Structure 1
Amino acid sequence: MKLKEPGIVVGVSNRHVHLSHEDLEKLFGEGYELTPLRPLGQPGQYASEECVELIGPKGSFAKVRILGPVRKNSQVEISRTDSFKLGVTPPVRDSGDIEGTPGIRIKGPLGEIELEKGVIIAKRHIHMLPSDADLYGVKDKDLVSIYCDKEGRKLIFQDVLIRVSEKFALEFHVDIDEANAALLNNGDQVKIIESF
């Protein structure tokens, strides 16, 4: 197996919510703006101080973090394990691809909304700049395999989506279920497999 260098830093994604400005106001009040708590790996994106409650047919999660800035459409990203507790069956999708996905109820301090769609399990992916894509010999929307070399849990993730933009920073995103399966933590490094 041949691996491409250099390694790519890991970002582990726990359950979170992206809100439209309209939905943010319904939950927190007219004119409300998110309060940045800490920056994320991608430029301009941040975890906010604000949290909401996700309420599904079978269960709920309190204190689910909202990520900013606001988006055109609201979206909820959960793991498969989360889906069992909530009682929803979301598909694995690229972020923003929410047509045909289940909805969910979201409760904030000043109101509730019922999303008709928007709950997904995020497809594992790598954010990269065009210069990174050139370095690794890939292009936007390519699918690659990733090798994780944690002692006792060496693992290969296949069908990893490449996402290329001038707005991105180089980072491999997996949800908490996938990270736990490979013993991955934020800041670990993985490598693209060039060939077997």
Structure 2
Amino acid sequence: MDERKMRMIIEKVIEKMEEQSSIPVEASGRHVHLSKEHVRQLFGDDRHLSIKKELSQPKQVQYNQRVTLIGPKGIIQGVTLLGPARGNTQIELTKTDALKLGIDPPVRESGDLQGSASLWIAGERGVVLAEESTILAKRHIHMEPADAQRLQVEDRQKVAVRIMTNRPVIFEDVTVRVHENYRLSMHIDYDEANACNYVPGTRGKIISID
């Protein structure tokens, strides 16, 4: 085998090894998870919601319908609505969105809503005040137990991840979330994505574990 072919084979092996040790990264835009009661008030009921597409995490969907967010200083129209319905309405924004709306939501993990910001939400059939509903989503990684074992991490651990783009950034304090129903993916918001020149297909690599 000549040197050129050998070099190509070695490069492909290295590329495969790097892929196996890296994590796909997804940029998450502003979106809303409604409670069943708020679905009823804004759209009638969930029979009036139609699925646009399935998301990377199992059983999570995006609807065709959208909502408007109303804050003290501004509004944002056409906000993505995700499902299925949850026990409590949760709105996830970027800091840029929050400044436009005139609110100051905390950085929180999903579901940690006590003391968070409130917003009005407008839908096809009405308007509701979603109290203690709004957060800046803390960056995190979803993974199955097999992925956690391969990457040598545990549920709830905090890690630092290097985002591998032409403008690489290291994100610290990234929460690992392990569950058998998860699929491997790191989630960052659009502000974070813009900071590192994110493009679809971007991957990250865990470089340290707390």
TM superposition score normalised by structure 1: 0.94
Distance in 1 (alpha carbons) for counterparts of 2:98 and 2:126? 23
Query: Which has the higher Rg, Structure 1 or Structure 2?
Result: 2
Residue 174 in structure 1 maps to residue 188 in structure 2: yes
Residue 103 of structure 1 aligns to a residue whose secondary structure is strand
Distance in 2 (alpha carbons) for counterparts of 1:122 and 1:187? 21
Amino acid at match of 1:172: M
- Structure 2: 5+ residue runs without aligned partners? 1-17
Residue 24 of structure 1 aligns to a residue whose secondary structure is helix
Q: CA deviation at 1:40?
A: 1.0
Q: CA deviation at 1:19?
A: 0.4
The CA RMSD over aligned residues, in Å, is: 1.5
Aligned pairs (5 A) from 1:18-57: 18-30=33-45, 32-57=47-72
Distance in 2 (alpha carbons) for counterparts of 1:186 and 1:90? 27
Q: CA deviation at 1:178?
A: 0.2
- Structure 1: 5+ residue runs without aligned partners? none
Q: CA deviation at 1:67?
A: 0.5
Residue 183 of structure 1 aligns to a residue whose secondary structure is coil
| Higher normalized contact order (CA 8 Å, seq sep 6+, divided by chain length) | 1
Residue 121 of structure 1 aligns to a residue whose secondary structure is strand
- Kept in 2: contact 1:10–1:185 (CA 8 A): no
Report % sequence identity: 44
Cα deviations across residues 125-145 of structure 1 (Å, max 9, x unaligned)?
A: 000001111111111110000
- Alignment correspondent of 2:121: 106
Q: CA deviation at 1:4?
A: 9.4
Match of 1:139 among 131, 146, 154: 154
- Alignment correspondent of 1:8: 23
Deviates more, 1:175-184 or 1:39-48: 39-48
- Alignment correspondent of 1:93: 108
Q: Which has the higher helix share?
A: 2
- Alignment correspondent of 2:4: none
- Kept in 1: contact 2:120–2:129 (CA 8 A): yes
